[in-house]
Amino acid sequence: TQLLEQSPQFLSIQEGENLTVYCNSSSVFSSLQWYRQEPGEGPVLLVTVVTGGEVKKLKRLTFQFGDARKDSSLHITAAQPGDTGLYLCAGRLNAGNMLTFGGGTRLMVKP
């Protein structure tokens, strides 16, 4: 069992649709990050959230940290083919811990 469970594992949608991916845990995190990884590349940081209930927006992407700091979501509005990739959430249990990754959500946006 992974510390961070991501759902869905795979998502294939048409350009222009909205989607939400989830990152859940039974543990409380001091901070949580979302990364995007394209084939043959390393993950690239999208956002860091640290406060329970925090919402951050990055263009068409909206990130939310749960009130209890156990879960997070990523919502994409009007998805585009360029959004295709592997979305990874990663959390730290406390400031002194390693970054633990979820299993990822593989998103494909078809034109």
Residues forming contacts to other proteins in the complex (CB under 8 A) are 2, 4, 6, 31, 33, 40-45, 48, 88, 90, 92, 95-104, 106
CB of 103 to other proteins, least distance (A): 5
Closer CB to other proteins, residue 30 or residue 80? 30
CB of 39 to other proteins, least distance (A): 11
> Could you give the CA distance from residue 11 to residue 21 in angstroms, rounded to a whole number?
9
The tokens of 90 are what? Answer: 């990663």
Torsion, Cα 30 66 27 103, to 10 degrees, reads -100
